[in-house]
Amino acid sequence: MTFLRDAASASIRGVFRAPENAPPWATDDPDAGLFGPDSVTWRVHGHLSVLVGGVRALLVQTLHPLAMAGVAQHSQYRTDPLGRLGRTAAFVGITTYGTTTEADAAIAMVRNVHQRVRGVAPDGRAYTANDPELLAWVHYVEVQSFLLAYQRIGPGLTPADADRYVAEMSRFGARMGVRESLTTTAALHEWVDDHPEQRVTGDARAAVRFLLWPALPVAVRGPYTVLLAAAISLIPFRQRLALGLVIPGPVAGRVVCEPAARALVGALGWTLGPSPALRAAHARVDPETQLEPA
């Protein structure tokens, strides 16, 4: 069993590999970083339901015309989807589980890149990626997506812990330049679901088409389809209808897609084991902890 697990893990990690310039994990600094082992964020981001949450976030984020214009004009998502996925995963990992110094360095690097992401959207409005309002949209859609995925694909949280997660991520968002402070799940869902900027543009439709049929290696297409269907099922019907995501329906999503994603995530957790970022963080901060598969 160990041989099979190691072989499968090597194969999957070969596809979802970290970028070559990913920073090394500190092993001799006891600093717990921005959250720490007692945080809800460590729990949520350490579970592979984040894969479903990540896909959902990409779909919902397309609904903001200015955010989508920045992606369309500056991102390499069409030509290097796995590279973008790897860079995003590395950023989430280092800011969640790295030391405070490592997390702040990663944030500074991203904000520096954002300085160059500016232009004019098709509707004539200028945008810049470091605009606090755009940062808030991208950030809180991601927070909502990770939370919903953990609640419905992962083991779930109590209402109090769900609010703690939102509050922890709000403090992280402030570090990124987000000025909007949301500290409860009710405020989070209301802010995202009723955001006044939501509109489907040509760029949004193109991005959604790509996410429905991305150019992925054959070995990844089946699992991705399962994750995608579950991600769509987590999107409110009004937003799904606007984006043309009418399949799967609400019943099929709950009864078929989400259980299938739970099974897949469980299998991947057995295959991959705890994430390298989480293992390194516990070795640094709390070495006596015995980690279970994600």
In a domain, 289, yes or no: no
In a domain, 288, yes or no: no
Comparison of pLDDT for 34 and 80, the residue scoring more:
34
Tens of pLDDT along 108-151?
999 999 999 999 999 999 999 999 999 999 999 999 999 999 99
In a domain, 180, yes or no: yes
- For residue 153, CA distances in Å to 8, 62, 271, 283, 292 come to 22, 23, 17, 27, 17
Tens of pLDDT along 7-47?
444 444 444 444 444 455 555 667 889 999 999 999 999 99
- Residue 268: pLDDT band with limits 50, 70, 90: confident
3-state secondary structure of 31: coil
In a domain, 270, yes or no: yes
Comparison of pLDDT for 1 and 85, the residue scoring more:
85
| Structural domain boundaries enclosing 52 | 2-24+32-283
Average pLDDT, the chain: 87
Give yes or no for a contact between 122 and 202, defined as CB atoms under 8 angstroms apart. yes
Question: What's the predicted TM-score (pTM) here?
Answer: 0.89
Tens of pLDDT along 85-97?
778 888 999 999 9
pLDDT at 144: 98
In a domain, 291, yes or no: no
Give the number of domains in the chain. 1
Encoding tokens for residue 41?
A: 């964020």
Report, as an integer, the average pLDDT of 213-219: 85
In a domain, 135, yes or no: yes
Report, as an integer, the average pLDDT of 164-187: 97
The residues, any chain, with a CB within 8 Å of residue 148's CB and separated by 6 or more, are: 53, 56, 234
pLDDT at 18: 45
